[in-house]
């Protein structure tokens, strides 16, 4: 009888279905061990938020670009009423616009107006905004650019490049963020999260 029991054990050990069940159980355990920490990391990331803050700009109004005489001469004195916003996406860290950061508004590569921005900070998981008035004086605009600008302003389709340039410079360049903003748009335009080198 002992011999029969030993034979049954040997047959059980060599049973392909039993081996398959063992492999499946082992793979399931490995999958769970891998999935649980990944899920925890993803949940933590979504709860705590990305450490990168968000910067956004709205052009509330524009003046000084639609004067016929100025447009004919290609010399304008534009004023841009902006709203600059910053939002933190982190539960522990604030998000700030540094002191002496300045905004520059351009159209098709032609700088039109600029303004210095004071320090602006939003607490963790908070957002804050500030009005900024950017002005230009006796700005010379090439004829082809001026024609396009006047037409797009008439249609309400003008899109401006707004740069947030950080304090400090190296070889005449500053780090900054780019934003493409439609004039008088109802929604704010988000700026790039990455920093770029920009000419002064």
Render pLDDT for 22-49 as a digit per residue (tens, 0 to 9). 776 676 666 556 665 656 655 555 544 5
> What pLDDT was estimated at residue 198?
84
Low-confidence ranges of the chain (pLDDT < 50): 5, 10-12, 47-48
Q: What's the chain's Rg over C-alpha atoms? A: 30
Cβ–Cβ under 8 Å, residues 184 and 60: yes
pTM reported for the whole predicted model: 0.72
Whose CA is closest to 85, among 47, 53, 116, 62? 53
> What pLDDT was estimated at residue 1?
52
CATH top class, domain 54-199: mainly beta
Q: Tokens at residue 139, please?
A: 């700005």
Name beta bridge partners: 57.
84, 189
Alpha-carbon torsion angle 139, 141, 145, 146, nearest 10: 80
Domain ranges of the chain: 2-48, 54-199
Whose CA is closest to 160, among 151, 149, 144, 147? 149
Name beta bridge partners: 116.
102
Alpha-carbon torsion angle 59, 64, 65, 69, nearest 10: 170
> What pLDDT was estimated at residue 123?
95
Whose CA is closest to 190, among 33, 117, 84? 84
């Amino acid at each position: 009888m002992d011999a029969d029991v030993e034979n049954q054990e040997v047959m059980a050990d060599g049973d392909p279905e039993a081996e398959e069940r063992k492999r499946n159980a082992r793979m399931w355990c490995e999958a769970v061990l891998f999935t649980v920490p990944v899920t925890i990391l993803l949940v933590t990331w979504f709860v705590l938020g990305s450490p990168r803050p968000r910067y956004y700009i709205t052009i509330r109004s524009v003046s000084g670009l639609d004067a016929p005489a100025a447009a004919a001469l290609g010399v304008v004195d534009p004023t841009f009423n902006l709203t600059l916003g910053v939002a933190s996406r982190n539960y522990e860290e604030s998000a700030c616009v540094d002191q002496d950061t300045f905004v520059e508004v351009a159209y098709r590569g032609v700088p039109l107006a600029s303004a210095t921005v004071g320090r602006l900070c939003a607490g963790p998981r908070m957002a804050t905004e500030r009005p900024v008035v950017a002005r230009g004086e006796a700005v010379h605009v090439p004829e082809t650019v001026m024609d396009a600008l006047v037409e797009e302003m008439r249609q309400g389709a003008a899109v401006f490049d707004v740069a947030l340039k950080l304090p400090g410079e190296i070889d005449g360049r500053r780090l900054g963020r780019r934003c493409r903003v439609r004039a008088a748009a109802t929604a704010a335009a988000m700026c790039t999260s990455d920093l770029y080198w920009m000419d002064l």
